[in-house]
Amino acid sequence: MIQLNFLINKFVLVVFLIASTTTTFGQLSKIAVVNLMDTTLYHIHYGTTIFTNKIDTFDCQFNCKKYVEQEIPRFLSSKYEVSVINIPDSILSKNGSIYDFWGLKKAVKTWISTYKDKFDIIIYVESSKQFTSGYPGNHKLLSSGLYSQGNPIKSWAAVYSSTTFQAFRTSDSETIDYYSAYKLHFKVLKEYKFSKDRIVIDPEMLPFIKTRLKEMLDVELENFLTKTFIVSKDDYDNVKLVKTE
């Protein structure tokens, strides 16, 4: 039954997108982006004892929020008019989420519906402020950044991201569902080189970390845009061929 509902929703969305992109006089459909990503990057290190555990911030000259606001219009601009808008803090939950215990907050649904004459879709992007991962070891991972373990024998590091992308139809305030295997994205860095104390990030590793974080966001964004059928895979790939800084 779940699979059937998913297929029905996908069919309805495809019909909606086809219809909305063939409007009178070639008018483009309109999409709004609400971006509440956390720009802070964290290095979360777990050593062999609690005395060698550490949570700190770091700077690799990468503003993930700005990057997403650059990339979404780049992939959508040929078929949509894209605007960045703000959501009132007053309608969010205390933890800054659009959800409460019962699901999407009623106030948020109402707010989305007020834009039905201005936008066809609202894309919502956020980072978890405190995400407890089932891997590795149920450690609390904040926002996005670098995770490392400092066991001298089996040391390893990974970039991670708790960024989530969601799309809502303004006509009915319903979510455009798509398949995402994990809420937390995690990629082990086989080429990562530890500093001597294994706790502080070696400055030479910062450009490498930046590249891997960008790659991770690229994968997340591609999955979101193509699996929701907001953009076809072919159109996405064509834009992807155009390199950006």
Distances (CA, A) of 101 to 93, 105, 154: 10, 9, 40
Confidence of residue 199 (pLDDT cuts 50, 70, 90): confident
* All structural domains of the chain with their residue ranges: 2-240
Cβ contact 176:17 at 8 Å? no
**pLDDT beyond 60 at 214:** yes
Q: What is the mean pLDDT of residues 126-149?
A: 81
Phi first, then psi, for residue 111 (nearest 5°) are -60, -40
Burial class, 110, CB count within 10 angstroms (exposed 0-12 / middle 13-18 / buried 19+): exposed
Residue 123, strand partner residues = 33, 167
**Helices 206-227 and 64-76, axial angle in degrees (round to 10):** 40
- pTM for the whole thing? 0.84
Measure the CA dihedral 214/216/217/223, to 10°.
Answer: 140
Q: Specify which residues 82 forms β-bridges with.
A: 31
